[in-house]
DNA sequence: GCCGTTTTCGGCCCGACTGTTTTCAGTCG
């Protein structure tokens, strides 16, 4: 996946052009870079199919440049610009407090080209001597350098969401806020987040801001003003709090939820009517407030139906909202069960009964027990005999306990390198749910992997293809395959594609979910639970499916058990 | 360089905070 690399070059082109005093082009390059950064789909795949031209902010010229980068990893235009200012602008401007102008000034005055030069100059006290900078800037740069090293990575949604909830609870307990809500990429359900954004209403903003700055986990207060306070937690995460008047809450919540591209499109829409949209409200030409207290009011005043946060990526949602054609995204109360669950019969940590009781307590009406099968002996996979015994145990549980929960018998069967399965058909035929997945030979080439997956989804016994791309966020990229072919095969074989809800996986991701649904395939949200607490992952899977524009009818496990297991 | 309720040319999002300055540039989100 070269998206980050492409975005980085485009960002640097934008900075270099800006330093040359070129107008407007920097904005165009940044917009394109933002779009590509936010894509869930590998840019290589889009270039190959020519679809990269459809990315918002990518026109003819940038499309060609993207293709050049994908092909050669470089961009001649970028090299030319850089030859005049031979510095690592991207790395430098990612240091807090350093923007393109400061970076250029530091190069002109001190010959600083990269972070190593920057750190040396800051330590030697040379930066404070540069006109326009000072001792505090120098200190800030040193802190920024340390932070950049410590916090390169983004935080998983699965960690950030509980953290944000805890912070909000602590603030609510303090009693100085009338209202609080999480915003930012967290609210949009992105798989990772860079920082946390919280919007609040308080009649005592100064007291409220102080309460925030003195929360137990706060290690450093980065800035604090009337409306905006920014802190860094001990773990390194940055949290921004905006305090706004009640009549502006919706505008602020909308604004700080983003995405940036979505907001820019929305503001352009307001501007086309002679209106102005900011974090305080939507104002007409006469300066009268048209909306602002609640989010939907803003969209409505702009002639749009309310857009769910998960869709706010400027990827067609505004046009769909305008036409009244936004899909009714799947809701948590529509999910009836979980079709990917492990027990201690394989590598799970709890017994079948414990998992069933937890699922029942959670309100599921069914779960499928899908322990690893034979191949996965290394993680304690079940043998065919053990699987048969488990079926008996499941039948007994359903007879004896049952109640609101039906336990389905199933297995997570391995897809061998040639696309065959490592359990006999006769055995698979006796199960309610067969989940198939790749667990080995990840490095097959694209064609091999594609036909392997196509063969697997075409097996009459396979109901779900689990974690289809095999990616693990921050650990390994997914394997290469022609996903359109896999999705088309899954659609015609009526095999569902999983959104694995484990926060490290979230696989399929939102972009691929959308493509799978367009191809006519159905999606299954599976927690891959190895412990009763993992049923909570369902929320992350749901957000991911929603980012893929999924409705209840696209999701297999919104259906009752009898429709799924026959 | 992109894009279309401004529609194939002529526009292009907006405000808060900091630090270094005595009125504002730069950065950030």
Per-residue pLDDT for A1 more than 80?
Answer: no
Mean pLDDT in residue range A124-135: 88
CA of A271 to C1' of B12 (A): 11
Distance CA A99, CA A85 (A): 14
Nearest residue for B21, CA–C1': A132
**For the segment A155-207, what is each residue's pLDDT rounded down to a tens digit?**
889 989 999 999 999 999 999 999 999 999 999 999 889 899 999 999 899 99
Backbone torsions φ then ψ of A433, nearest 5 degrees:
-135, 125
CA of A67 to C1' of B29 (A): 30
The tally of CA atoms less than 13 A away on the side-chain side of residue A144 is 20
Share of chain A above pLDDT 70, in %: 97
CA of A268 to C1' of B7 (A): 14
User: In sequence order, what are the residues at sequence separation of 6 or more whose Cβ sits closer than 8 angstroms to the Cβ of residue A15?
Assistant: A26, A89, A90, A93, A100, A103
**For the segment A324-365, what is each residue's pLDDT rounded down to a tens digit?**
899 999 999 999 999 999 998 888 888 999 999 999 999 999
Mean pLDDT in residue range A520-547: 95
* Per-residue model confidence (pLDDT) at position A376: 44
Mean pLDDT in residue range A223-232: 89
Domains located in chain A, CATH noted: 3-150 (1.10.150.110), 155-244 (3.30.460.10), 248-322 (3.30.210.10), 332-565 (3.20.20.140)
Q: Which residues 52-81 of chain A have a CB under 7 Å from nucleic chain B? A: 56-63
- Look over chain A and give the mean of its residue pLDDT values, rounded to a whole number: 90
**For the segment A387-405, what is each residue's pLDDT rounded down to a tens digit?**
899 999 999 999 988 778 9
Q: Which residues of A364-385 are buried (b: 16+ CB within 10 A; e: fewer)?
A: bbbbbbbbbbbbbeeeebbeee
CB-proximal positions of chain B, under 7 Å: 1-3, 5-6, 11-21, 25-29
Distance CA A312, CA A126 (A): 44
CB atoms under 10 Å from CB of A417, counted, come to 12
Per-residue pLDDT band for A474 (boundaries 50, 70, 90) equals low
If one compares A452 and A21, the residue with the highest pLDDT of the two is A452
**For the segment A93-117, what is each residue's pLDDT rounded down to a tens digit?**
888 788 899 999 999 899 999 998 9
* Per-residue model confidence (pLDDT) at position A450: 95
Residue A279 approaches strand B within 7 Å at CB: yes
* Per-residue model confidence (pLDDT) at position A153: 63
Residue A365 approaches strand B within 7 Å at CB: no
Nearest to A407 by CA among A372, A357, A454: A357
Share of chain A above pLDDT 90, in %: 58
Mean pLDDT in residue range A432-441: 92
CA of A134 to C1' of B25 (A): 14
C1'-nearest nucleotide to the CA of A66:
B1
Nearest residue for B3, CA–C1': A57
SS (H, E, C) A84-110: HCCCCHHHHHCCCCCCHHHHHHHHHHH
- Which of A13-27, A263-277, A488-502 has the highest average model confidence (pLDDT)? A488-502
Backbone torsions φ then ψ of A504, nearest 5 degrees:
-80, -25
pTM exceeds 0.85 for this model: no
Per-residue pLDDT band for A150 (boundaries 50, 70, 90) equals low
C1'-nearest nucleotide to the CA of A256:
B29
- The distance in angstroms from the start CA to the end CA of chain A is 40
* Per-residue model confidence (pLDDT) at position A566: 59
C1'-nearest nucleotide to the CA of A242:
B16
Contacts 24+ apart (CB under 8 A), A210-219: A211/A171, A211/A174, A211/A176, A212/A171, A212/A241, A215/A167, A215/A170, A215/A171, A216/A170, A217/A167
SS3 state of residue A38: helix
* Per-residue model confidence (pLDDT) at position A348: 84
Mean pLDDT in residue range A381-390: 86
Per-residue pLDDT for A37 more than 80?
Answer: no
Per-residue pLDDT band for A24 (boundaries 50, 70, 90) equals confident
CA of A67 to C1' of B7 (A): 28
């Amino acid at each position: 996946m070269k998206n980050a690399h492409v975005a980085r070059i485009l960002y640097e082109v934008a900075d270099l052009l800006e330093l040359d005093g070129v107008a407007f082009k920097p904005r165009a390059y940044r917009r394109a870079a933002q779009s590509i950064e936010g894509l869930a789909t590998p840019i290589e795949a889009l270039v190959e199919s020519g679809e990269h031209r459809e990315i918002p902010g990518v026109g003819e010229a940038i499309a060609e440049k993207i293709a050049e980068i994908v092909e050669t990893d470089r961009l001649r235009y970028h090299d030319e610009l850089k030859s005049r200012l031979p510095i690592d602008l991207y790395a430098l401007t990612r240091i807090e407090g350093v923007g393109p102008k400061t970076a250029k000034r530091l190069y002109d005055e001190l010959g600083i080209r990269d972070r190593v030069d920057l750190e040396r100059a800051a330590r030697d006290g040379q930066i404070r001597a540069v006109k326009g900078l000072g001792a505090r800037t120098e200190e800030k740069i040193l802190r920024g350098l340390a932070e950049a090293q410590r916090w390169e990575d983004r935080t998983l949604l699965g960690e950030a969401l509980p953290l944000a909830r805890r912070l909000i609870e602590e603030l609510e307990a303090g009693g100085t806020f009338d209202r609080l809500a999480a915003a930012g990429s967290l609210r949009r359900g992105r798989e990772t987040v860079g920082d946390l954004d919280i919007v609040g209403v308080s009649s005592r903003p100064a007291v409220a801001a102080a309460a925030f700055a003195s929360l137990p986990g706060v290690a450093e207060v980065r800035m604090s003003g009337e409306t905006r306070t920014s802190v860094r937690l001990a773990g390194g995460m940055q949290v921004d709090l905006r305090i706004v008047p009640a009549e502006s809450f919706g505008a602020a919540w909308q604004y700080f939820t983003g995405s940036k591209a979505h907001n820019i499109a929305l503001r352009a829409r307001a501007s086309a009517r002679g209106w102005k949209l900011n974090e305080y409200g939507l104002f007409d030409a006469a300066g009268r407030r048209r909306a602002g207290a609640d989010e939907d009011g803003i969209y409505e005043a702009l002639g749009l139906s309310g857009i769910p946060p998960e869709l706010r990526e400027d990827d067609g949602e505004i046009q769909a909202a305008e036409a009244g054609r936004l899909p009714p995204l799947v809701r948590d109360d529509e999910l009836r069960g979980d079709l990917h669950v492990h027990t201690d019969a394989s590598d799970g940590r709890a017994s079948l009964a414990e998992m069933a009781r937890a699922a029942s307590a959670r309100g599921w009406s069914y779960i499928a027990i899908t322990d690893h099968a034979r191949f996965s002996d290394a993680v304690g996979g079940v043998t065919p005999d053990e699987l048969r015994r488990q079926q008996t145990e499941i039948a007994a549980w359903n007879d004896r306990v049952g109640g609101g929960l039906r336990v389905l018998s199933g297995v997570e069967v391995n897809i061998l390198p040639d696309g065959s399965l490592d359990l006999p058909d006769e055995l698979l035929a006796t199960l309610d749910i067969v989940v198939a997945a790749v667990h080995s030979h990840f490095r097959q080439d694209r064609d091999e992997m594609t036909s392997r997956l196509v063969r697997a989804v075409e097996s009459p016994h396979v109901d779900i293809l689990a974690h289809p791309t095999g990616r693990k966020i921050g650990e390994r990229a997914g394997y290469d395959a022609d996903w359109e072919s896999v999705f088309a095969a899954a659609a015609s074989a009526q095999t569902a594609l999983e959104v694995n809800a484990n926060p490290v996986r979230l696989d399929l991701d939102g972009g691929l979910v959308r493509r799978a649904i367009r191809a006519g395939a159905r999606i299954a949200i599976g927690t891959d639970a190895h412990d009763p607490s993992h049923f909570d992952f369902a929320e992350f899977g749901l957000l991911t499916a929603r980012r893929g524009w999924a409705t209840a009818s696209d999701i297999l496990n919104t259906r009752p058990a009898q429709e799924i297991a026959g």
